[in-house]
Amino acid sequence: MRERQREVQLYRGQIPSPGRPTVAWRQDRVRFWAAIADGDKTGDAAAQAGVSSPVGFRWFRHAGGVNPCLSPTVSGRFLSFAEREDIALFRAQGLGVREIARRLDRSPSTISRELRRNASTRTFRLEYKATIAQWHAERRARRPRPAKLASNDRLRSYVAERLSGAVRAPGGRALGPEGPKWQGRNKPHRGDRSWVQGWSPEQISNRLRVDFPDDESMRISHEAIYQALYVEGRGALKRELVACLRSGRALRVPRARARQTAWAHVTPEVMISERPAEVEDRAVPGHWEGDLVIGLKRSAIGTLVERTTRFTMLIHLPREHGYGVVPRTKNGPALAGYGAITMKNALAASMTTLPEQLRRSVTWDRGKELSAHAAFTVETDIAVYFADPKSPWQRGTNENTNGLLRQYFPNRTDLTRWTSEEIDAVAATINTRPRKTLGWKTPAEALDEHLRSLQQPGVATTD
């Protein structure tokens, strides 16, 4: 038996230990990447494939977010995992090679070669196990081609220099901040990045033809550079060079995810195109425009501006209890002060203080802070509309007012320092400034004039 094991080892060659068999086979990976291509998150795609989330995240990370484009089934030329399970079962029943081949409709030489190549030789007897055999078959089928960047030192140095070369002064001194240490994540949030040459892979690929017009060895596609950066083991470039890309992302974003919008709460029924025509000419007061003024450390103040009178209301949005103390959890409560429910309640509390004639509609930016707009409309009977993407001019009155408010609430300052009383004082200051568009009346005077007109008794008419 030992001589037999030695013969099989010599036939197959010395190979490393297979270790733990792969968690899932081709069909599971195909389902996983199909879900990723449809735009699902990694955890949801792993659930569809029937594997755990850590396995799905590991597949996504090792592939760099790049779909390996696996075929749904193995070619009929090769044994499938199901057939290997049948071979192991028939072998345990004591069937011969020719009988197994007849039952599987395979050539006897195929079964014989399978038993010689892929049997486990690290046990006392030559045992055939489907999992170990599948591992051997997958390992042998890889046969990866050597990457061009790995075999061409000159080309690799050229690409790396254009990606990560330092920005230098005329004297040769490197300039710019050092930047954070690479930790496998995307570009730092509110932090400095290293100043590098930062050529895009497309620029590098096309510039090679200019710098080396007669050297065909100095050619590489931009996709090969991207895969060398993103896909584990695909190229000779260091993984941390992804930080030199302009996007700075550590993993490639699948195309379906990139096409997804973050405005699932905006339906066709609440688009600005559905807003009544009376809103456009500003003849009827009671139509408002709203947005957030964002500050440092996820602080914000809500702003509301009436379109006709330019009257401004500011909404105090203090942080929720536990902010900065309770660890941040995925899909956990929004403690920054402008979560959907918090924003809905604060906006409703402010709007319900107005007379009914001044509560007709609100046109908001496309932020998620008002994703509970349906519940807001039910509670207050105020219609909510959303502007088109990247169209701030559709809420020009509010945008102009936010610019005026930046005098009091500058960018990159903590806005939670201010109390409700202080915010109301700023709003009163804005509302008592004369405005050219109002004939040099103040917004407060224009609103008061409108309210007085509503209180005048009606004139009797005859039919």
Residue with tokens 């906006």: 347
**What's the pLDDT score for residue 289?**
96
Residue 347: pLDDT above 90? yes
Q: Provide the token pair at 88.
A: 């192991």
Highest-scoring range by mean pLDDT, 47-51, 233-237, 332-336: 47-51
**Whole-angstrom distance, CA of residue 33 vs CA of residue 27:** 10
Q: What pLDDT score was predicted for residue 219?
A: 94
Residue 95: pLDDT band by 50, 70, 90 thresholds? very high
CB neighbour class for 372 (10 Å; exposed up to 12, middle 13-18, buried from 19): buried
Classify residue 441 by its DSSP letter: B
Considering only CA atoms, which of 132, 143, 138 is closest in space to residue 20?
Answer: 132
pLDDT band for position 189 (cuts 50, 70, 90) = low
Amino acid at 118: N
Which has more pLDDT, 180 or 2?
A: 180
Q: Indicate the average pLDDT of the chain.
A: 85
DSSP letters along 210-223, please?
Answer: HH-TT-TTS---HH
pLDDT (0 to 100) of residue 415: 92
What's residue 460's pLDDT? 40
| Interstrand relation of 361-364 and 312-316 (parallel, antiparallel or unpaired) | unpaired
Three-state DSSP state, 224: helix
Cα separation, 12 vs 158, whole angstroms: 40
Q: Give the lowest-confidence range in 116-125, 358-367, 441-450.
A: 116-125
Q: Cα dihedral sign for 443, 444, 448, 451?
A: positive
**pTM of structure:** 0.57
Give the per-residue pLDDT at 459. Answer: 41
Query: Residue 290 is inside which H or E element, if any?
Result: strand 287-294
- Average pLDDT on 37-42 reads 88
pLDDT for res 16: 54
Q: Is 65 exposed, middle or buried (0-12, 13-18, 19+ CB in 10 A)?
A: middle
- Give the mean model confidence (pLDDT) for residues 221-228: 90
Look at residues 287, 296, 288 and name the one whose alpha carbon lies nearest to residue 315: 288
Q: 443-455 and 420-431 are packed helices; what angle lies between their axes, rounded to 10 degrees?
A: 80
> What does the radius of gyration of the chain's CA atoms come to, in whole angstroms?
33
CA distances from 268 to 271, 275, 276 (A): 5, 11, 14
Give 381-412 pLDDT, tens digit per residue.
Answer: 999 999 998 898 999 999 999 999 999 999 88
Task: Tell whether the model's pLDDT for residue 229 goes beyond 60.
Answer: yes
Identify the three-state secondary structure at position 136: helix
Mean pLDDT, range 121-129, rounded to an integer? 67
Dist CA 212 CA 202 (whole Å): 16
- pLDDT in the model for residue 147: 83
Model confidence at 302, in pLDDT bands (50, 70, 90)?
A: very high
Tokens standing for residue 334: 């929004």
pLDDT for the residue 108: 93
pLDDT bracket for residue 122 (50, 70, 90) = low
Sheet holding 312-316, edge to edge: 312-316, 300-306, 287-294, 361-364, 383-386
> Does the pLDDT of residue 132 top 70, yes or no?
yes
Q: Are strands 361-364 and 383-386 parallel, antiparallel or unpaired?
A: parallel
Strand partners, 302: 292, 315
Q: By percentage, how much of the chain surpasses pLDDT 90? A: 41
CA-closest candidate to residue 108, choices 97, 119, 117, 118: 97
Phi/psi of residue 320, nearest 5 degrees: -75, 160
- The model's confidence at residue 65, banded by pLDDT at 50, 70 and 90, is confident
Please give the single-letter amino acid code of residue 259: R
| Distance separating alpha carbons of residues 211 and 404, to the nearest angstrom | 52
* Structural contact between residues 246 and 195, judged by C-beta atoms closer than 8 angstroms: no
pLDDT above 80 for 215: yes
Q: How many CB atoms lie within 10 A of CB 361?
A: 18
Query: Cα 326 to chain center, whole Å?
Result: 24
Decide which of 99 and 236 is more confident. Answer: 99
Count the Cβ atoms, other than its own, within 10 Å of residue 72. 9
Mean pLDDT score, 9-38: 69
pLDDT at 79: 87
Cα torsion angle, 223, 227, 230, 236, sign: negative
Q: In this predicted structure, what is the pLDDT of residue 410?
A: 92
More confident site: 320 or 207: 207
d(CA 26, CA 81): 9
Give the pLDDT mean for 132-140. Answer: 79
